[in-house]
Amino acid sequence: MRIARIVALGLAVWLSASAVSAEVVRQIEFHGLQALAEETVRFYLGLEEGKELDEAALSANLRALWDRRLVDDVRIEKEPVEDGVKLIVTIVERPILRSIDYEGLKRLSRTDISERIAKDQIGIREGDPLDLGELKRLEAAIEEMYRDKGYRFAEASYQLEQISPTERRVLFTIDEAEKVRIGDIDFQGNEVIGNMRLHWKMKKTKETNLLWRMLKKDIYNPATVQEDLTKVKEAYRAIGYKDVIVEDPILSTTGKGGKRRLKLEIPIDEG
């Protein structure tokens, strides 16, 4: 018996070559349902025995179901039966996030991460369906939070642990690494103002030595670097160079382990 696939893998639509006239749905069979109730899926898909099959409406309903992030995949096949068709609906549900834990947190707290989740509107919440894309967003956000604190080489990764067929635990493992100290600040393209004066304008960003190490000004911090680059621009504008462009630093590293240092190359177009 020939089965015509209507929707599969990413909600693409295939129409049976023989489907010229409207077909009546006589039977609906569901597979793969665990946490979701059959009535819920029927409601979202707009399926009911005795109704004509509207494939355009079904496709739109599938997309709406997909947008609710309840499922990872939907496959609908139709099989001819007497006076109509039988629909076979196979669902792959998204597991529920039961808990999320962190190992290796020292310089950040769970509160810090929770606040970042809220700020960036990352779709991660215990009790909700698990979204791997949102986990990737959280992973990147954690690493960015560490970079902002000067831990440029901190890494975050996560593992999924199965609690039950429908539930998962997420465990983030954090390798904070060490703060990276600035070994060299190199201005490029400056002629009107010399290197020494530009270094002096960088009040919060210094090349490492004993004094700057004690004052913690040799730690790379994107926020304070931007403040100092603004000071460099102001120095140029104060002497009439209104069109000066000071670009973001190009970062590179030298050395390894505890001797690893960061080099900042700062391009300047004096205008």
Q: Which has the higher per-residue pLDDT, 54 or 268?
A: 268
- Model pTM score: 0.62
Instruction: Give the whole-angstrom CA distance, residue 94 versus residue 123.
Output: 14
Q: Could you give the CA distance from residue 92 to residue 28 in angstroms, rounded to a whole number?
A: 17
Average pLDDT over residues 7-24: 49
Over residues 113-136, the pLDDT tens digits come to: 999 999 999 999 999 989 889 999
Point out which residues pair with 217 in neighbouring strands. Answer: none
Rounded to an integer, the average pLDDT of 168-191 is 92
pLDDT class for 21, splitting at 50, 70, 90?
low
Indicate if 228 and 195 belong to the same structural domain: yes
Strands, DSSP E only, in the chain? 4-8, 12-13, 25-31, 71-81, 84-93, 96-103, 155-164, 167-175, 181-188, 245-246, 250-254, 261-269
Q: What is the span of the domain harbouring residue 245?
A: 181-269
Same domain, 245 and 187: yes
Q: 7 pLDDT exceeds 90?
A: no
Last-in-domain residue among 93, 114, 137? 93
Are 85 and 41 members of one domain?
A: yes
Q: What per-residue confidence (pLDDT) applies to 4?
A: 42
102 and 83 share one domain: no
**In the chain, how many domains are there?**
3
Contact 32, 73 (CB under 8 A): no
Per the listing, tokens 């749905």 go with 25
Are 84 and 101 members of one domain? no
Strands 181-188 and 261-269 turn out to be parallel
Q: Which of 93, 128, 162 is the last residue of a domain?
A: 93
Domain end among 132, 152, 175 = 175
Query: Which CATH number does the domain housing residue 170 bear?
Result: 3.10.20.310
- Asked whether residue 254 carries a pLDDT value surpassing 90, the answer given is no
Backbone φ and ψ for 254, nearest 5 degrees, come out as: -130, 155
Which pLDDT score, from 0 to 100, does residue 1 have? 37
Q: Which of 91, 95, 94 is nearest to 7 (CA)?
A: 91
Statement to judge: residues 71 and 145 lie in one domain? no
pLDDT band at 257 (very low <50, low <70, confident <90, very high): low
Q: Are residues 61 and 123 in the same domain?
A: no
Residue 66 has pLDDT above 90, yes or no: no
Structure-model confidence comparison of residues 137 and 217, the more confident one: 137
Distances (CA, A) of 38 to 44, 90, 93, 101, 107: 10, 11, 12, 32, 46
Amino acid identity of 240?
G
pLDDT of residue 16: 39
> Is residue 150 domain-shared with residue 203, that is, in the same domain?
no
